[in-house]
Structure 1
Amino acid sequence: MEKGTISMDFVAEALLVARQRGLDIAALVAGTGLSPELLAIPQARVSPEQYGALWHALADALNDEFFGMDSHPMRRGSFAILCHALLDCPTVGRAIERALRFFALVLDDLSGQLRVDGARAEVVLADRGPPGRLFAHGTLFVVLYGVACWLGGRRLPLMEVNFCQPSPPNLAEYRLVFGNTLHFGAAASALALDARLLGLPVIRDAAALRLFLRQAPANFLVKYRSQAGDVARIRGLLSERPLAEWPSFEALAGALHTTPSTLRRRLEREGSSFQVIKDDLRRDMAIDLLCNTTRSVDDIGFALGFSEHSAFYRAFRRWTGASPGEYRGKTAGFAG
């Protein structure tokens, strides 16, 4: 199963208000697997478990599960209460509506509405004042969408995601989360899906919720990422196979019922290539193995297809800005 990672850009966004309020960041991240040294490496990546640990640390420090991004804090424990309140909803659509009413009660600056127009359903966000941060809108979408997918027991394919904010420098990271049908500078931030999905039954119970809450938010941060687009589709295909069985580009194109030249152009339109997809997946696998196992660096490099330690060292430094040993040292003491 694929182990995705999360950009340091999103870590910096999550920490922004804490920094502005003068909190001791080194003390805040202690025990999360994120050292101040790692935070200083812009191209570094973190595991969902590390980001989830940071989520809880920030919520504790700020007594706010929305990271201080709203003028009214979302007090610690609000997410658990929300999830309990959704369990007796008959359908995913009803759960989304109830969740949006909940957010309207606990947040002052940001609210949302579920709109259905024929075959299209949209969760549309509205700011009660100046436009909010892109990260605030994105975080609300990730939480709402992740919980909705969990309640329905499946990924809910996204038709389109729009943000009212301008396109960010880390556009590729937002595409990784929300898919390729992503637009910025829209009239309103909106997450669209097939309206028929609203009728899916809620299949979770109290016992499942207890496990879900123990593992949240790490258990939904990357699990329900959009699978739309060729980049996500190819990444999914590769993650299902041992690295030694990854196909050639020509074989992959055949499996996708297209030609290599056509597939290459499609990947270029998504700002990627077959080599970039493979490198990103190997990077995420390396980070997972370094953070969550005791395997030696040489063993990890060999498992990822590097015949020489120096080749793995160079590749990992190019991917993350640190050597494998340095990276493991900066995340020491954390087990996801």
Structure 2
Amino acid sequence: MPNSLPRPHIANHYLRASICGAERLGARREVLLADAGVPTAWLDKPEQLITEEELTRLIKTVWRATRDEFMGLSTSRCKNGTFALMADYCLDSASLGAVLRKSARVYSIACNNVDIGLDESDDNRLVFFRLSLEDTSLDTDHMLQEFLLLMWQRFACWLVDQQIPFATTRFNYPSPPHVNEYRAMYPTELQFNAEVCGFSLHEKYLHLPVVRSEAELAVFLKEAPAYILHRPDIDDSLRNRVRTLLASQSLKDMPSLDELAQLLHMTPRSIGRKLQEEGTSLRKIKTSLRQEYAIKLMSTENLSVADVSERVGFSETASFCRAFKRWTGKSPSQWPG
């Protein structure tokens, strides 16, 4: 909305996470925050949310201070200008698939600490873009790993000028305390404790044409990382519509595919086909909702395992325990409250 003030919505966690690499290299936090126009006192106010603009200025400040696009969070520096070089190299590509392959080639050569590449499609016609830090010892808050995944997803959407319904975003570490931020940043199914980090999408999106011009790219790079940090306003994918509808239902008695088709005024076959194209299924969406609700109950409510199992729709507690360990890597009895 014109003339409206930016709304703070980003967790305070990212203030410390953004500057810790620069501090490790000798930069003073007071100077970094002052240069970005962020009050130092906010570091001691965990409830203080920040805006996209404030985080954009802070990351730019860290880039300048460290001369490193990896913000001092990697064992191998990524020289400032690497992303711009990659973007310019990829701009004349005919399709998104070519961009992903070319970008992987550039970063494989320029950055020693990144495992990156486009893997072949699986039985569901999904392709996986692998994007992992090989040594995460300096990225203790996962800030750099988060940013890399976000950067490639948002840049891909920008190049083809549409919101791509990525199927999953995977992380090779447990669900972090600020996981709610992940759900806002990545409008996909989230998978933690995976072998590698990356994201998957239906192979048909690899054929989307690149539509941006050199002039548009110049603006994108000048304002970076503003677009990367900006959250899409609307997710109009069928996956999101189904998730929203199911989330309003009891997890113990979620509608079947036929019942869902009636609610959405679609045929069951068209729902299944469209969800498959978006890299998911009704079963996966239901599982994701149960997983999120179970973790929330186990973390915030004083309930027995049997009570949680029953609330999220499991008929047997043993089945719930097996599922919970598959989701989190821990049994319910080991889960921190």
TM range (shorter): 0.5 to 0.7
Q: Which residue does 1:156 correspond to in 2?
A: 164
Amino acid at match of 1:67: M
Relative to structure 1, the CA distance from residue 3 to residue 229 in structure 2 (aligned partners, 3 Å threshold; closer, same or farther) is farther
Q: Secondary structure at the match of 2:154?
A: helix
Q: Secondary structure at the match of 1:16?
A: helix
For residue 168 of structure 1, the aligned residue among 176, 179, 183 is 176
Rounded to whole Å, the distance in 1 between the matches of 2:42 and 2:162 is 34
Compute the displacement of 1:71 (Å). Answer: 2.1
Q: Secondary structure at the match of 1:95?
A: helix
Q: 1:49-105, CA deviations, whole angstroms, 9 ceiling, x for partnerless residues? A: 111111110000000011112222111222222211111111111111111122212
Consecutive unaligned residues of structure 1, counting only runs of 5 or more, are: 235-255, 259-265, 273-336
Rounded to whole Å, the distance in 2 between the matches of 1:50 and 1:135 is 16
Compute the displacement of 1:46 (Å). Answer: 1.4
Quick check: 1:104–1:112 contact (8 Å CA) kept in 2? yes
For residue 27 of structure 2, the aligned residue among 13, 20, 23 is 23
For residue 152 of structure 2, the aligned residue among 141, 144, 165 is 144
Rounded to whole Å, the distance in 1 between the matches of 2:159 and 2:129 is 17
**Match status 1:57 vs 2:61:** yes
**Match status 1:198 vs 2:206:** yes
Relative to structure 1, the CA distance from residue 131 to residue 30 in structure 2 (aligned partners, 3 Å threshold; closer, same or farther) is closer
For residue 96 of structure 1, the aligned residue among 88, 93, 100 is 100
Relative to structure 1, the CA distance from residue 139 to residue 170 in structure 2 (aligned partners, 3 Å threshold; closer, same or farther) is same
Q: Secondary structure at the match of 1:30?
A: helix
Rounded to whole Å, the distance in 1 between the matches of 2:155 and 2:177 is 28
Rounded to whole Å, the distance in 2 between the matches of 1:99 and 1:122 is 14
Compute the displacement of 1:214 (Å). Answer: 2.1
Consecutive unaligned residues of structure 2, counting only runs of 5 or more, are: 246-261, 265-287, 295-337
Quick check: 1:231–1:270 contact (8 Å CA) kept in 2? no
Higher relative contact order (CA 8 A, sep 6+): 1
Quick check: 1:70–1:108 contact (8 Å CA) kept in 2? no
User: How high is the sequence identity, in percent, across the aligned residues?
Assistant: 24
Amino acid at match of 2:208: L
For residue 52 of structure 2, the aligned residue among 48, 52, 58 is 48
Relative to structure 1, the CA distance from residue 271 to residue 11 in structure 2 (aligned partners, 3 Å threshold; closer, same or farther) is farther
Relative to structure 1, the CA distance from residue 41 to residue 268 in structure 2 (aligned partners, 3 Å threshold; closer, same or farther) is farther
Rounded to whole Å, the distance in 1 between the matches of 2:87 and 2:164 is 18
Rounded to whole Å, the distance in 1 between the matches of 2:9 and 2:178 is 15
Rounded to whole Å, the distance in 1 between the matches of 2:54 and 2:243 is 23
Relative to structure 1, the CA distance from residue 160 to residue 222 in structure 2 (aligned partners, 3 Å threshold; closer, same or farther) is same
Task: Using structure 1 for the length normalisation, give the TM-score.
Answer: 0.65
Q: Which residue does 2:131 correspond to in 1?
A: 125
Amino acid at match of 2:101: E
**Match status 1:223 vs 2:221:** no
Relative to structure 1, the CA distance from residue 168 to residue 62 in structure 2 (aligned partners, 3 Å threshold; closer, same or farther) is same
**Match status 1:5 vs 2:13:** no
Q: 1:230-253, CA deviations, whole angstroms, 9 ceiling, x for partnerless residues? A: 69969xxxxxxxxxxxxxxxxxxx
